[in-house]
Amino acid sequence: MIIVMKPDVNKQQINNVISLVENHGLKTHLSCGDQVTIIGVVGDKSKLSKCNIELLGGVEKIVPVTESYKLANKKFHTTSSTVKVRDVVIGGDQFTIMAGPCAIESEKQIIETAHAIKKSGATMLRGGAYKPRTSPYSFQGLEEEGLKYMATAREETGLPIVCEVISLQSVETAYKYVDMFQIGARNMQNFYLLKEIGKTKTPVLLKRGLSATIDEWLNAAEYIMSEGNENVVLCERGIRTFETATRNTLDISAIPIIKQKSHLPVIVDPCHATGKRAYVNPLSKASIAVGADGLMIEVHPNPSVALSDGPQSLPPDEFDKLCNELRPFSKLVGKNL
Ligand code: PEP
Ligand code: MN
């Protein structure tokens, strides 16, 4: 439930409510907006049944939250939140482009790509060091060696880096290098992994599971946030449907739905959504139109020899053209790119 405070509430009254709730063994989450102050309550609310909270000074009303996700819920935090990754802000009036190869293949490849994407306007570098591939015989990633190359690319370009983690062991290793953890579609419901990264303060890019509903996705975010890490950015990357013309089906409606249900920033990955380079440009534009906070785009210096996801990766010149074409679209929706 949430406790909505009166517009003229004072600090003492807020503290009284928080103490009462916490003394009954529940957790609180304070959100002070320009218009309204809200105290979100997480836990077994039956413990408060005899407290008559609505009669306390400064309390306007109590609103039940029926959804199982609370901290990720817009009712808990009525204004959109932003997540900072080093100097890069995701959400709010920013439109953030993360780009880079599907997999880190060599130091030269990642550094060359980092310089190219920065020149075109990307503000974060992506690259996979641990690759959860469909086949066990496909390239599985360079692991720590790849993370070192990513860190060098960050030193050379200043771009913050985002890398996928797939296990506890990879979290321990990647923690030393990355600015943002990526949880891939296949691990969206690996609750143990979500809890572990929830214990860190490192921002998290949480991709939607291949067959996850929006509510399941938001509950996955809740797993991370409930451990104390509220720096979560969602990423729509397509879901499995009966359609075979594309690798997955981009659920474009998920963006406005997320915006209605949650305060978390949400970006789109049109590459994994379609599996085909030709559709990346139009779907990037569509993503801006429906209110996304950014994009994740796979870029490879030479996609025809990429060790993974070449057909959906853009060469640097096409990525540059895409960024140039996206600028007027982002301006139109009032976002800085
Ligand atoms: C990726 O971003 O490289 C990736 C594997 O994506 P997803 O988890 O969305 O398939
Ligand atoms: Mn990929």
Q: How far is the CA of 154 from the centre of ligand 1 (A)?
A: 21
Measured from the alpha carbon of residue 268, the closest ligand is 1
| Residue 191 included in any domain | yes
Query: Region 73-88: what's the mean pLDDT?
Result: 95
Residue 156 belongs to what domain range?
A: 83-332
Using CA positions, which residue lies closest to atom 1 of ligand 1? 102
pTM: 0.96
Assess whether 129 and 213 both reside in one domain: yes
pLDDT 10s digits, 11-69: 999 999 999 999 999 999 999 888 889 999 999 989 999 999 999 999 999 999 999 99
Question: Is residue 235 predicted with pLDDT exceeding 90?
Answer: yes
Assess whether 145 and 193 both reside in one domain: yes
Task: Kindly state if the Cβ of 129 falls inside 6 Å of ligand 1.
Answer: no
Q: How far is the CA of 103 from the centre of ligand 2 (A)?
A: 7
Assess whether 33 and 153 both reside in one domain: no
Structure tokens at 226: 């409930």
Q: Is the dihedral angle over the CA atoms 253, 268, 189, 202 positive or is it negative?
A: negative
Assess whether 87 and 186 both reside in one domain: yes
Assess whether 171 and 217 both reside in one domain: yes
Q: Which SS3 state, helix, strand or coil, does residue 260 take?
A: helix
Using CA positions, which residue lies closest to atom 5 of ligand 1? 184
pLDDT 10s digits, 176-223: 999 999 999 999 999 999 999 999 999 999 999 999 999 999 999 999
- HSE at residue 321, side-chain half, CA atoms within 13 A, is 9
Looking at the structure of the chain, the number of domains it has is 2
| CATH of residue 8 | 3.30.70.1140
Measured from the alpha carbon of residue 312, the closest ligand is 2
| Residue 72 included in any domain | no
Q: With beta carbons less than 8 A apart as the criterion, state whether 284 and 268 touch.
A: yes
Strand spans (E) along 155-228: 161-164, 180-183, 204-207
| Residue 177 included in any domain | yes
Assess whether 100 and 59 both reside in one domain: no
Q: Residue 333's CB: how many other CB atoms inside 10 A?
A: 13
Task: Kindly state if the Cβ of 102 falls inside 6 Å of ligand 1.
Answer: yes
Assess whether 38 and 136 both reside in one domain: no
pLDDT score at 33: 82
Letter for the amino acid at 40?
G
